[in-house]
């Protein structure tokens, strides 16, 4: 333990900050998984479906109403305005409040229209707007702390908000007749208690909410990124929204459970990629594509294995997490889990695009994939039922991977750079995983065969990884 602590303290501030950011992300996802069995048993399937749609719309509106100003825009602005951080922060908050106010006025002019559009009640729609307002100061504050590598208090508050939110939400739903509203109101109250004081902290040294130069700077940086952010959010969230609209809230709830199981793998993929990105950039800069290729092959194998495990154990995991009433959701887990694998493939190609500053391809690819997903859902869900949404998601991410591969090849040709990834290995693993996806789906009722496939996949993966390390 002493050696581990010494090694930890020897790490640079950026590395420690990244570690705690990852820890907070894993902790939040873990709390979500642990508490899901409570909410799925207390809330009806219809109530859980409405909550999942509320969360989906909240994610989409967070892009439109806030322009994601607290993300890359604010972080880039801090590096460009180091000497005037306080006034820059206040002006960014002022722009955020101005945009929010505009959307709030639109909502207040016709609350019933917007509630009908979102498939929610006017009260829940109103609470969405309050949530957006009180959450953004917290996001700005976390970005500022991370920019300066001040991770201790940021991590503590992130964990605190998560714990208090889930604890209070559980208490509220267990002691309320309107369980759905109680679930959302409890979470909202915790965010108000944390968000408003942080707004005061950010404005402590400057109350200059309007600065023409700052607002122009922020809008010029943020607006071109909106299609990418919004398309990515639609690609992730549109399934649940469209299922709720086209089929029913209960079905949207069951789909959300399946997506949550796959999201556990996605969380690992996101964490892995956050570490693999600097490794990729450093080696591409040194013209060491071989190191990137070897690392990518190992990661592809490991993530494919995680997807197979999620598929093979889906029925049992869903019974434990959500109960037997959600058992039907297991049918969707294989295709959604495979989608996560193709998410990782497209991020590999997009990392090369980022390295060579060819970011114009990213937004176009995401927009096309999101459009394809919406069209397929609109055509197929009414005809084949809500479970087909897993297949449409898989097709959309396959298309996204293919598009990024084409862009990746174009960039290599333009830069006269040798191939970075082993395309034959990617095709081999993708093909095997796709076949297993649909095979496991057909033999769900044969438990021993599912677990045999998981065990065999584990042995083969370990053997392949061992050979790679020996080389």
Most confident of 33-42, 65-74, 142-151, 180-189: 180-189
Per cent of the chain over pLDDT 70 is 94
73-112 per-position pLDDT tens digit: 787 788 778 778 888 999 999 999 999 999 999 999 988 8
Mean pLDDT within 300-328: 85
Residue 193: partners with Cβ closer than 8 Å, 6 or more residues away: none
Share the mean pLDDT of the chain: 84
For the cut 70, the answer to whether the pLDDT of residue 471 exceeds it is no
Distance CA 385, CA 181 (A): 28
**pLDDT: is 15 or 61 the higher one?**
61
The pTM is what? 0.73
Mean pLDDT of 217-243: 80
* pLDDT of res. 399: 93
Domain boundaries of the chain, sorted by first residue: 10-210, 228-470
Distance CA(243)–CA(111), nearest Å, equals: 23
pLDDT computed for residue 91 by the predictor: 92
Residue 226: its pLDDT value, please?
A: 81
Buried b / exposed e along 203-231 (16+ C-beta atoms within 10 A): beebebbebeebbebbeebbeebebbbbb
Q: Which residue, 410, 257, 406, is CA-closest to 329?
A: 257
pLDDT in tens, 115-149: 888 888 999 999 999 999 998 899 899 888 877 87
Q: Residue 289's pLDDT is what? A: 76
- pLDDT of 56 > 80? The answer is yes
pLDDT over 60 at 468, yes or no: no
pLDDT exceeds 70 at position 15: no
Mean pLDDT within 237-253: 82
Q: What is the mean pLDDT of residues 207-220?
A: 88
pLDDT tens digits for range 344-381: 898 888 888 877 767 667 777 888 888 899 999 999 99
Buried b (16+ CB within 10 A) or exposed e, 354-372: ebeebeebbbebbbebbeb
pLDDT per position as a tens digit, 18-46? 677 767 777 877 788 788 888 888 888 88
Tokens describing residue 326: 């959600």
R_g of the chain, CA atoms, integer Å:
23
Give the pLDDT of residue 330. Answer: 84
Q: Is the pLDDT of residue 253 over 60?
A: yes
Which pLDDT value is given to residue 8?
66
Which of 434, 430, 451 minimizes the C-alpha distance to 314?
451
In whole angstroms, give the CA distance from residue 448 to residue 384.
Answer: 29
Q: Give the pLDDT confidence score for residue 296 in this predicted structure.
A: 86
Residue 173 reports pLDDT greater than 90:
yes
Residue 359: what pLDDT? Answer: 64
Q: Given a cut of 90, is residue 168 above it in pLDDT?
A: yes
């Amino acid at each position: 333990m002493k050696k581990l602590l010494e090694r930890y303290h020897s790490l640079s501030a950026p590395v420690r900050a990244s570690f705690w950011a990852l820890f907070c992300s894993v902790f939040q996802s873990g709390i979500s998984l642990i508490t899901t069995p409570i909410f799925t048993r207390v809330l009806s399937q219809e109530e859980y479906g409405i909550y999942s749609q509320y969360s989906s719309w909240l994610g989409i509106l967070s892009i439109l109403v806030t322009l994601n100003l607290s993300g890359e825009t604010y972080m880039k602005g801090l590096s460009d305005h180091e000497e005037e951080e306080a006034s820059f922060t206040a002006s960014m908050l002022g722009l955020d409040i101005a945009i929010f106010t505009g959307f709030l006025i639109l909502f207040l002019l016709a609350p019933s229209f917007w509630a009908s559009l979102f498939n929610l009640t006017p009260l829940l729609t109103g609470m969405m707007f309050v949530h957006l307002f009180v959450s953004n100061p917290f996001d700005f504050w976390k970005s500022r702390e991370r920019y300066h590598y001040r991770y201790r208090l940021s991590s503590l508050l992130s964990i605190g908000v998560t714990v208090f939110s889930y604890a209070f939400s559980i208490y509220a739903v267990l002691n309320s007749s309107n369980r759905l509203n109680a679930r959302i109101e409890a979470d909202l109250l915790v965010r108000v208690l944390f968000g408003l004081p942080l707004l005061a902290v950010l404005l402590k040294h400057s109350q200059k909410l309007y600065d023409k130069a700052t607002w122009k700077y922020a809008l010029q940086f943020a607006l071109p990124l909106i299609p990418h952010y919004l398309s990515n959010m639609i690609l992730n969230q549109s399934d649940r929204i469209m299922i709720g609209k086209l089929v029913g809230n209960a079905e949207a709830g069951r789909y959300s459970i399946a997506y949550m199981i796959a999201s556990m793998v996605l969380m690992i993929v996101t964490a892995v990629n956050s570490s693999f990105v600097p490794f990729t950039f450093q080696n591409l800069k040194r013209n060491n594509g071989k190191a990137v290729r070897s690392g990518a092959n190992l990661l592809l194998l490991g993530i494919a294995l995680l997807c197979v495990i999620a598929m093979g154990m889906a029925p049992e995991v869903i019974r434990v997490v959500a109960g037997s009433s959600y058992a039907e959701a297991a049918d969707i887990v294989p295709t959604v889990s495979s989608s996560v694998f193709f998410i990782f493939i497209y991020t590999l190609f997009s990392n090369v695009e980022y390295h060579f500053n060819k970011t114009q391809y990213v937004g176009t690819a995401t927009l096309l994939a999101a459009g394809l997903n919406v069209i397929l859902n609109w055509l197929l869900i009414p005809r084949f039922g809500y479970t087909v949404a897993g297949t449409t998601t898989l097709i959309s991410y396959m298309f996204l991977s293919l598009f990024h591969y084409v862009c990746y090849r174009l960039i290599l040709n333009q830069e006269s750079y040798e191939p970075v990834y082993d395309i034959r290995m990617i095709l081999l693993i993708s093909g095997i995983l796709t076949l297993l996806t649909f095979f496991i789906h057909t033999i769900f009722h044969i438990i021993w065969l599912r677990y045999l496939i998981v065990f065999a996949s584990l042995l083969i993966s370990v053997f392949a990884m061992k050979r790679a390390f020996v080389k």
